[in-house]
Amino acid sequence: MKDYTFEEFKHDLQNNNIKKPDAILAIARGGLTFAHHLAEKMNMREVFSINAISYDKDKKLDSINIFNIPDLKDYENILVVDDISDSGDTFIEVLKVLKETYPNKNFQTIAIFYKPTSKFKPDIYFHETNEWINFFWEVY
């Protein structure tokens, strides 16, 4: 178990230069704070969100509901943002829906943490970890 503090987050943001996309897309909830800070850092107002909510289905299979797909027609390069690629299911399902909806767009993915056991490896990540992460926005 590891605490990921605001100070570490700020340090990570200040020490990683990410190529400016045309739009930033936060996966809610987990990606919202990260996407907001990325948008501030890159001085971008084109920051949107998409919802991904997992539901326990029969307690056997997880089903992820993807909704509130924003209007991306004016943007070519879209940075899809989440806090962590844990199982990888969220990124996989979100990208599936995005590519179905916008087959000609270029989607890049970013997460703060990547677990090597994840089925999905983000294009950019700050840390690889096997630990459970307590993000600073989860402390209330």
* Residue with smaller CB distance to a second copy, 52 or 122: 52
* Residue with smaller CB distance to a second copy, 97 or 121: 97
Between residue 98 and residue 137, which ones bind a second copy under the rule CB under 8 A? 136-137
Q: How far apart are CA 79 and CA 20, in angstroms?
A: 9
Cα 36 to chain centroid, rounded = 11
Site string for a second copy, 71-90 (x = CB under 8 A): x-------------------
Instruction: Name the DSSP class of 15.
Output: T
Q: Based on the shown chain and the rule CB under 8 A, indicate whether residue 37 belongs to the binding site for a second copy.
A: yes
* Residue whose C-alpha is closest to residue 25's, from 93, 86, 121, 107: 107
Q: Based on the shown chain and the rule CB under 8 A, indicate whether residue 56 belongs to the binding site for a second copy.
A: no
